[in-house]
Chains A and B, each alone.
Chain A
């Protein structure tokens, strides 16, 4: 039996470039090549995420994937899910997008397994791509940078609102920043605690959060549990 020897991602390794727009894929591929890797363009992606992941696993050593994949073709998944699942398979992957802000909720759902989010244009130069893929490769090997390590802490829900069909909770993570509200999809909570969605405002949860993240868009949340309840007041006689 052949034993595979794990080695760090390096120059010349094949990196899959996934995008629904061929021109954008080619542009990213050129940057990936300049970063020292061998780009494998997959554009447009197949309708099934399983097929896409199988192709990545067979052809590439790493992945850089666009987030909005349904723009030009009929796919039912986002790039964030592809990147997260690829990292689960230990194929280092990073996300690239022009829509980091408007797609914040769909990205946040998978953020725990997205080591780096690259904003197309200002964060997609060859050096940054190399750095990002190296960081993802480190996480695949269990080496996390301090700002990517999650700790169990309090997450307090301030309010809930609906944004273009998505229920969004405005939460505070006091251990990260007690005076800044962060928006997360309610699904992140209700996936862990079914039926928690109706009485969220004012509720405190314990969850794992990377509290040393520098910016709000780096924050990720997982493993929500209801925190011990704070009494609303002294009981009536």
Chain B
């Protein structure tokens, strides 16, 4: 059972043990931190990430882990690697012959430049074969997917004997534990086929916090509802986070939410930014700067955030998170017309 944590962690900065899911708009970015060291999982283009690191005194980045090569997961990696104030020790990325974008080649070029300058280690085996090489301090990062066989083959085209393995299908799935307590499942853009492969592997997906894959958009399977229900049954989350952008896409989809409510009816659902499905008109940003925590959030200054950035913290043997569910709930009740995350179906309560 996880606790809510209303205020800042009382743990001294030097020993902060937590995972931050940053509000970056559409995209994914998480920071796993143990005191002066962090691992960054996915780096979309955002000024929020360097801002957040700067606020922490620019801790050493032990690992920069890119789940897969989509723009909304790697677009800010180059800026991070360019930064003089931020020491990135090791970059993790999987080979992807289907991703022949110029941006991806640009990133590989930067990685090679930094490697030749002897400053950066580069690992292209982000699969279960890396065992516990991502773990550091009291942060344990397990790679649950891709498996060695799939990783060895990589993404494929449809005429391949394996059938089509998409870039999303090869997205790394990570489970993070803090001081041996399971904390967060980060499935990147895992699709329905990848989940099928993962589920049949017998891996333990259990975590109190699930960052829902692909921002709550299509998982490419037969039924979004079925996918999200089966995922929730496997993870058993108490907090489900959607890392979404109000300006791009209208995630999560109602089918995804229906699956969640079927399998995790009481779970706290928190989108980083306010979905257009929940409130189609922009909130008047002159009324308030909506931020529920002290963490930087891309949607904070512009009034686009819903829950904003979220911190999952380990303190005195307990996993807790903020913002408080009650605080988030109050914001929704006051400002959001048709919240998809409501526990009961409802009509608009706002004028």
Q: What is the interface of chain A, defined by CB distance below 8 A to chain B? A: 151-154, 156, 172, 174-178, 204, 206, 211-212, 227-228, 230
Given contacts A151-B84, A175-B78, contact A227 B113 (CB under 8 A): yes
- Encode B85-123 as 1/0 by CB contact (under 8 A) with A: 000000000000000001101111110110010000000
Bound-state Cα–Cα, A20 to B74, Å: 49
Q: Is the pair A227, B109 in contact by a Cβ cutoff of 8 Å?
A: yes
* A215 CB, nearest partner CB in chain B, Å: 14
Bound-state Cα–Cα, A54 to B83, Å: 38
Given contacts A151-B83, A174-B78, A211-B82, contact A206 B113 (CB under 8 A): yes
Given contacts A153-B82, A178-B71, A178-B75, contact A204 B116 (CB under 8 A): no
Cβ-closest chain B residue relative to A225: B113
Bound-state Cα–Cα, A220 to B112, Å: 24
Given contacts A153-B78, A153-B79, contact A178 B106 (CB under 8 A): yes
Chain A residues near B78 (CB-CB < 8 A): 153-154, 174-175
* A183 CB, nearest partner CB in chain B, Å: 18
B45 within 8 A of A: yes
Chain A residues near B71 (CB-CB < 8 A): 178
Which of the residues A172, A176, A177, A228 comes within 8 Å of B113, measured between beta carbons? A228
Q: List 8 A-B contacts (CB under 8 A).
A: A152-B113, A174-B75, A174-B78, A211-B82, A212-B47, A228-B113, A228-B116, A230-B105
Which of the residues B82, B108, B112 comes within 8 Å of A175, measured between beta carbons? B82
* A226 CB, nearest partner CB in chain B, Å: 11
Bound-state Cα–Cα, A206 to B109, Å: 9
Chain B residues near A154 (CB-CB < 8 A): 78, 106, 109-110, 113
Bound-state Cα–Cα, A159 to B109, Å: 19
Bound-state Cα–Cα, A153 to B102, Å: 14
Interface of A is mostly: loop
Bound-state Cα–Cα, A175 to B86, Å: 15
Q: Which 4 A-B pairs have the closest CB atoms?
A: A151-B82, A175-B78, A175-B79, A174-B106
Q: A152-B113, A153-B78 given. 20 additional CB < 8 A pairs?
A: A151-B84, A152-B82, A153-B79, A154-B78, A154-B106, A154-B109, A156-B102, A156-B106, A172-B106, A174-B78, A174-B106, A174-B107, A175-B79, A175-B82, A178-B106, A211-B79, A212-B47, A227-B109, A228-B113, A228-B116
Which of the residues B47, B79, B83, B109 comes within 8 Å of A228, measured between beta carbons? B109
Chain A residues near B82 (CB-CB < 8 A): 151-153, 175, 211
Interface hits, B236-268 → A, CB 8 Å: none
Bound-state Cα–Cα, A204 to B82, Å: 15
Chain A residues near B106 (CB-CB < 8 A): 154, 156, 172, 174, 178, 204
Chain B residues near A176 (CB-CB < 8 A): 79
Cβ-closest chain A residue relative to B77: A175
Which of the residues B47, B103, B110, B112 comes within 8 Å of A153, measured between beta carbons? B110
